[in-house]
Structure 1
Amino acid sequence: MKHNQDITRDRELLLGLAKNDDKSLETIYSENFPVVLRMILQHNGSEDDAKDIFQEAIIVLYEKASNSEFILTSRLKTYLYAVSRHLWLKKMQSTYGIYAIPPEMEETIPATEALDDHEARDEQFRIMERSMGSIGEPCKTILEDYYLHKRSMQEIADKFGYTNAENAKNQKYKCLMRLKKLFFDQYNTSL
């Protein structure tokens, strides 16, 4: 649930940025610049370089936010970091030539691939959350009690009035199979 709150907050900040809201810009800057600064300092850059790169990333973000078709599907932090990293790599390549890229950054060049993987995982979590929301009771509570709250089968049996832990275990298995079906039905239609 926290992840959805984070994405919702990020989308609100993005809307504020698109409307030229100074408070949104300040929040985005204060929450995201330190990570970009650290990355650039670790890779032979200066604080001024970091400010320039981050400013360019904010401009990219602003242009995207101004487009009504743009939908933020990852965390804002992830998006800004990937854009900043990409911009820094381009600057290093144009300034120092392609061979100047430190070996530890070479593996970070496919930032879009990492971002795509992150977005795919985000989508899977959203589908799982929807599946859990539509599974119904008592399955939702049984699965949450077992997997999230780490309750024993005996505790679950007592809570739901099952005669023993084995019956609770059978019910948990049925609920898990139902959740799996709901998840894959939604997952396959989203492809």
Structure 2
Amino acid sequence: MGNKKNDIILEGIITGDKIILSDFYKQSTRYVRRYIIQNSGCEQDVEDIVQDALILIYQKLTKDTLELNCSIYTYFYGVCKNIWRNRLRRKKKITLGEAFITENNECFDDSIIDDIEKNEQEHLYRKYFLKLNDSNKKLLNHYFEGKSMREIANLMGYSEGYVRKKKFEAKKRLLEIIEQNSSYFELKACE
């Protein structure tokens, strides 16, 4: 990282320091806002993109995979631009062939685009997971936590066979809900 100001901001992101986060948000969001508004976006889009970019940076920091060769502000702006371009591309508002460009190309490794797309998929999953009934959510949460069918059966008071059947039905229902959404087909088109 090298830069003392970058280090302070990155530490603030990791620890959730409200003062540092607030200052970083104020200083970096105005440029992101201008870019998104000038490129077919609205205020809600700005808030979504900024939050997604912060989450992505936080995840990279906690996994120790963030390689920063520039200012955190430049990096953040580039991540926001790439997320926004990715969404626009899926909405067919800009050409599919447009490259992902930053002010300082050496700031990014190739995996950032993969991380952005993975984040978009997780966001879509979480959004529609909440539409499942409580029983299905509880069962799938246990399953995604890595619990065995026997453990889930004991926790929920069902037989193992019943849990297997309900898990299959819950996953099927979740996929049906997701596939009914146009965002699903936009994500599939990007693959």
Q: TM-score, normalised by structure 2?
A: 0.50
Which structure carries more helix by proportion?
1
When normalised by structure 1's length, the TM-score is 0.50
